[in-house]
Amino acid sequence: MCHTVSHPSRGRTVSLIAAFAVAVCPNLAPSQPGGWSFETVVSGGFTTGGLSLALSEFGGPRICYRHLGQLKYAYRDASGWHFETADSIGSGSLGHAPSLVLDTLGRPRISHHDATNDDLKYTYRNATGWHDEIVDSVGEVDSYTSLVLDASAHPHISYQGVYDEDQVHCLKYAYRDESGWHAEIVDYTSASGASTSIALNAFGQPRISYRHYASSDLRYAYRDGSGWQIETVDEAGEVGAHSSLALDNLGRPRISYRDATNQDLKYAYRGFSAWTIEVVDSTGNVGQFTSLALDASGFPHISYFDPTNWDLKYAYRDASEWHVHTVDWDGSMGYTTSLALDGSGLPHIAYGDMTNHAVKYARGVSDISLSGALDNDQLVLTWTTLPDASDYWVYGASNLPHFPPGGAPGYEYRLAVITHPDSTWSSTSGVTDPEANRTYLVSAVNATEQLLGVSNRVGEFDFQAEIP
């Protein structure tokens, strides 16, 4: 189906295509997705406890999230979305701050906070079903957890816990080996360990980013042969919340986080000695719920929440500068985000829709280059192909620079279905009518009509001009 969402108050109108209730926003930066597809995974019942996204070997989304006090797990295959309860305890409250990782067989492993018993839990699925283990039950475990697996599929978790009877919060680290779970304190100083994120280097040594609440600093902890080492990354104002850590292929840390003093999204990276800090987005109040991933070239990609406009945003850096895009703004979008990149480097984002208390999933789709020409009384459209496409859907609308705003008019604007690898379409309808200034767009779908790509739009009488 084809429809448009219009936000006149913000001066933004985006043309949308939907396949199986999947919508698309075309015309982002050429080096990035040609558009975004959107799906509502869970309608209603999602709370602010968090969510986490991972991709299967073939790019299939897997999402864990907190839903009505339970830890839930959703995955999508060719037949659609499937849902499982990963952990529940009657009327208890589980699934806070979940962190999801898939093992080498694609099986889910999740760390999360059991708020009923104030425990850190580890939940996993194998051939016999879902199982859970209590990792740490000493004192109070807070709602910050981050999980990673080592080369032997052993779990490693960073989290905020306590270290004495006074319930002083600290940064803790737990890992499991053949003998069981082991927990240790990383940073004893008061009120450390919030907004934690963990990664392992090539030798399996843990690296952790976190916020130190007492000093309002962003910190970075790493373990070497002599024990834990702690560095202050940024101490300019109130910084470090919503941190997300990734290591480049040389093991050097990169961190996205929020600067609450200036209400900015920031990015810090370290060479072999010093830290460098960049402001990614400073438009309004931004930078909450950041999620960071590095592409194959080491460039950073970040999803995050813009509380000024209640938008989901996405930023990436290339060799020259940062590029910032609004992904979803139809309500309160992006309250909690989780980002992953697929094998093609395209972004996938799971996020909260707090307007509808829903879990949504946005997927970047490939760019298709569309051009056209008039050949006597015949219009000819030509486009670039995508290797995995089965069909190309040609859309057009008359007398409008955009597809009509409001509603979901269905397929009446889909003019043709062209089978791959054909990449041309022609028509004589209305070509010679000066009053019928048509706009055209092409999308690519696979055999199950899953959207793979979307083109720029072209107008009948100025084919080389992309219609804004």
Domain ranges of the chain: 37-367, 369-466
pLDDT of amino acid 169: 84
pLDDT tens-digit series, residues 127-155? 999 999 999 987 777 778 999 999 999 99
Q: DSSP states of 44-100 as a string?
A: S-EEEEEEEEEE-TT--EEEEEEETTEEEEEEEETTEEEEEEEE--TT----EEEEE
β-sheet with 311-317: strand ranges across: 288-294, 300-306, 311-317, 322-328
pLDDT of amino acid 159: 94
| Topology at the third CATH level for domain 37-367 | Neuraminidase (2.120.10)
Tokens linked to 359? 């879990």
pLDDT of amino acid 19: 27
Classify 8 as helix, strand or coil: helix
d(CA 227, CA 249): 23
pLDDT of amino acid 418: 95
Tokens 């909690």 label which residue? 336
Alpha-carbon distance values, 328 to 3, 311, 322, 457 (Å): 15, 6, 19, 20
Alpha-carbon distance values, 25 to 117, 281, 423 (Å): 44, 21, 21
Contact residues for 273 (Cβ-Cβ < 8 A; gap 6+): none
pLDDT of amino acid 408: 32
d(CA 246, CA 300): 9
What is the mean pLDDT of each successive set of 10 residues along the chain, which is 468 residues long? Answer: 28 28 34 76 84 94 93 92 91 88 97 91 96 88 89 96 75 96 90 92 97 93 95 96 97 98 97 93 96 96 96 94 92 94 92 94 90 81 92 76 36 81 85 66 86 79 36
Instruction: Please answer whether residues 291 and 339 qualify as being in contact, where contact means their C-beta atoms are separated by less than 8 angstroms.
Output: yes
Whole-model pTM over 0.85: no
pLDDT of amino acid 20: 23
Instruction: Please answer whether residues 327 and 349 qualify as being in contact, where contact means their C-beta atoms are separated by less than 8 angstroms.
Output: yes
CATH class entry, domain 369-466: mainly beta
- Residue 373: count other Cβ atoms within 10 Å of its Cβ: 13
Q: Residue 10: phi, psi to the nearest 5? A: -105, 0
From 313, 307, 330, select the one nearest 48 (Cα to Cα).
Answer: 307
